[in-house]
Chain A
Amino acid sequence: MVVAEQKPLNEILAMLQPYKKILVAGCKGCVTVCTTGGKKEVEILASEIRISRKKEGQEIDVKEITLERQCDPEYIDQLEEVIKDREAILSIACTVGPQYIAARYMDKLIFPGLNTVFIGGSKEHGIFAEFCQACGSCGIHKFGGLCPIARCSKSLLNGPCGGSANGKCEISKEVDCIWQLIYDRLKGLGKLEQMTQVIPCKDWSTSRDGGPRKMIREDLKL
């Protein structure tokens, strides 16, 4: 899923400072799963904004909505009524959501309530980690099923570098050396010879380096 975390409340309050009629818009997709932008988080964040404004003795009118998804034009329709009298929209979807709203409503100001951090998953309760960088040409089978592009600090395809120590990355003892994990996996699978192959330069044109990407599914087009 796309993993996102809420921006610090002070930053959100500062962005919204000039506005009185606000809409907090959540999303029932990935950000509900990673518990940063679902219905519950919309309620909490809306309350926090109201309380904080009240404390300052300022008037505020915060409405709430949680869309089925913010990354699909048909679900953006759900905003049609509620958005009419709003001055500012705070989207707490991943950064895709606020851009869909911005594209639809040219006269509305849009603010991001979340920082989109990565494509990943939860490792244990409350801990999320990055697993994919969307390079556009998956080759994890060459690495024991693990991705060094997303998970090696230097995206090395022929690692591990000289900074791997005790299974940890040189940048932090909190970061696993993915090449140690790849080594352990391949060793267990009896396929260590895979690590003796020199992996040649990667074609990054399928990645973000090739420009903003678009995927076209002819079979789905109407």
Chain B
Amino acid sequence: MKSGSRLEKILTGGHFAVTGECGPPRGAAADEVRKKAAHLKGVVDSVNVTDNQTAVVRMSSMAGCLILLQEGLEPNLQMVVRDRNRIALQSDILGAYALGIRNMLCLSGDHQKFGDHPAAKNVFDLDSMQLIQTVRKMRDEGKFINDQDIHEAPKMFIGAAVNPFADPADFRAVRMGKKIAAGVDFVQTQCIYNMDRFEKFMQQARDLGLTEKVYILGGVTPMKSVGMANYMKNLVPGMDVPTELIDRMKGVPKKDQTKEGIKIAIETIQRLKEMKGIAGVHVMAIEWEERVPELVEMAGLLPRPQVD
């Protein structure tokens, strides 16, 4: 075991993993995190806590993770390199481990131009690839970036994001290979709506022998409405929502659109379960955590395996 996290045990045990996501509030209310946690408890194996996603200021990911731990959930600490230099990153990794956090997701982070503080100065001392290298070096070599020894190394299960739908298309699987070389244990993909394109990505990943080297969790986000589908298609960077899917949502009466969105998500999970090289799903029900239990249940993924 590299970290001993539940997620690691699920994946190495050959179980189909289910991870969830929790966006901390734009305020200091711990109860909001607890409310989201209550929906996800027992339903997912580990919960990503986002790190000021879309560059909007929120409660820190680390604090959110700690609240989840207190509620008996296993957190996955998202960490972006946008806001911290290598001093702060390494310090936070030590702190996270000290608090009991065992999973990390290493990310670049959305550019602050999208966020609520576009006048901010960004950092990008490291990039996401170098953050992966850093967490691995800290874990496996017990050393900081500067090669100095760490007294009690943080043993993290290391994750990264991959976006099979970004360009250049031919490079996306190769880039995942780079993340594996940098030291990643698992990856979670961008929300999958264009299944054909995702199949092509997975074929390339298999051809490169990558599916043997990393656990790939397919990203699933249920759509609440045609409006949300259009928003994601047109305004979220790196998202590929095919027109047919939007037409399908449009084809049902407005009151049934949420049901249709859930149905589509379940179909996606079914296809992912069958797909060679997929080790699990990452359910990102954005501000819709209360629907995750039925989604996971209907996808036939409950109860979750007990690995502790």
Residues in chain A within 8 A of chain B (CB atoms)? 153-167, 170-172, 177, 180, 183-184, 195-196, 198-201, 204
Contact = CB atoms under 8 A, between A and B. Distances in A.
A166 B125 CA distance: 27
B127 A158 contact: yes
B167 A201 contact: no
In the A-B complex, the 9 residue pairs with the closest CB atoms: A162-B163, A170-B237, A158-B129, A163-B237, A162-B238, A156-B127, A155-B124, A162-B166, A171-B113
Contact of A177 (B124, B133, B167, B181): B167
Contacts of A153: 111, 113
Contacts of A171: 111, 113-114
B145 interface: yes
14 contacts: A153-B111, A153-B113, A154-B127, A158-B127, A160-B167, A161-B163, A164-B167, A164-B168, A165-B166, A170-B110, A183-B171, A196-B174, A198-B181, A201-B134
A183 B168 contact: yes
A153 B124 CA distance: 10
Contact of A201 (B114, B145, B163, B237): B145
A165 B68 CA distance: 35
Nearest to B182: A198
Given A195-B174, A196-B177, A170 B130 contact: no
A211 to B, nearest CB: 15
Nearest to B145: A201
Contacts of B175: 160
A9 to B, nearest CB: 24
A27 to B, nearest CB: 28
Given A154-B111, A156-B124, A200-B133, A164 B166 contact: yes
B238 A163 contact: yes
B133 A167 contact: no
A196 B210 CA distance: 13
A167 to B, nearest CB: 7
Contacts of A199: 129-130
Interface in B137-152: 145
Contacts of A170: 110-111, 114, 237-238
Contact of A204 (B82, B114, B125, B238): B125
B285 interface: no
A128 to B, nearest CB: 20
A162 B114 CA distance: 15
Contacts of A180: 167-168
A160 B171 contact: yes
A160 B169 CA distance: 11
Contacts of B126: 201
Given A163-B110, A164-B166, A170-B111, 5 more contacts: A160-B175, A162-B161, A183-B168, A195-B171, A199-B129
A194 to B, nearest CB: 11
B127 A159 contact: yes
B129 to A, nearest CB: 4
A184 B167 CA distance: 11
Nearest to A166: B167
B133 A154 contact: no
Interface in B95-131: 108-111, 113-114, 122, 124-130
A196 B178 contact: yes
